[in-house]
């Protein structure tokens, strides 16, 4: 790792710019000559800046949270519309003492979803198959 890269990773992930400590508002800012910054927020109106190398990571985290919200909304709607409820289980299919398959699956009103390795994938599979729409 180069010295420049080491310094970048040692830099704060976020900084806060203090441009208006008295809270008078942007119309009163003549220049940024008196602006300072800090790794911690000091005033309620400090402006937060995020290091550019973190943007991609934060966007990926945001996208996964949005996908999880979609999954939870789907399960909630499925449960509300189903006459028999919704069941999520984790099971192992064993035959002759050997585990042949394991994973999560969702079942609702006489439908048993495919077994998947993760709960997220099981929900995605149920969504793709259009259960209880």
Q: What is the pLDDT of residues 52-94, one digit of tens each?
A: 888 889 999 999 999 999 999 988 888 888 777 788 888 777 7
Q: Can you give the pLDDT at residue 53?
A: 85
Give the integer Cα–Cα distance in Å for 126 and 123.
5
Q: Can you give the pLDDT at residue 133?
A: 45
Question: Using one digit for the tens of pLDDT, what is the confidence trace for 120-130?
Answer: 988 898 888 87
pTM greater than the 0.85 cutoff: no
Is a pLDDT exceeding 90 seen at residue 30?
no
Q: Please answer whether residues 85 and 79 qualify as being in contact, where contact means their C-beta atoms are separated by less than 8 angstroms.
A: yes
Q: Which residues are registered as beta bridge partners of 47? A: 17
Report in angstroms the alpha-carbon separations of 49 from 3, 12, 41, 52, 55.
Answer: 23, 10, 11, 9, 11
Q: Where are the domains of the chain?
A: 3-50, 56-129
Q: Can you give the pLDDT at residue 67?
A: 95
């Amino acid at each position: 790792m180069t010295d420049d890269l080491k310094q970048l990773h040692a830099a704060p992930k976020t900084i806060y710019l203090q441009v208006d400590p008295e809270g008078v508002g942007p119309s009163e800012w003549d220049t940024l000559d008196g602006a300072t910054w800090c790794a911690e927020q000091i005033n309620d109106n400090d402006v937060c800046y995020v290091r550019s190398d973190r943007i991609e990571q934060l966007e990926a985290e945001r996208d996964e949270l949005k996908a999880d919200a979609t999954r939870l909304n789907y399960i909630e709607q499925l449960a509300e519309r189903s006459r028999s409820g919704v069941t999520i289980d984790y099971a192992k299919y064993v035959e002759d003492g050997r585990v042949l398959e394991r994973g999560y699956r969702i079942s609702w009103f006489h439908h048993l979803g495919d077994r998947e390795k993760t709960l997220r994938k099981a929900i995605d599979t149920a969504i793709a198959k259009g259960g209880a729409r």
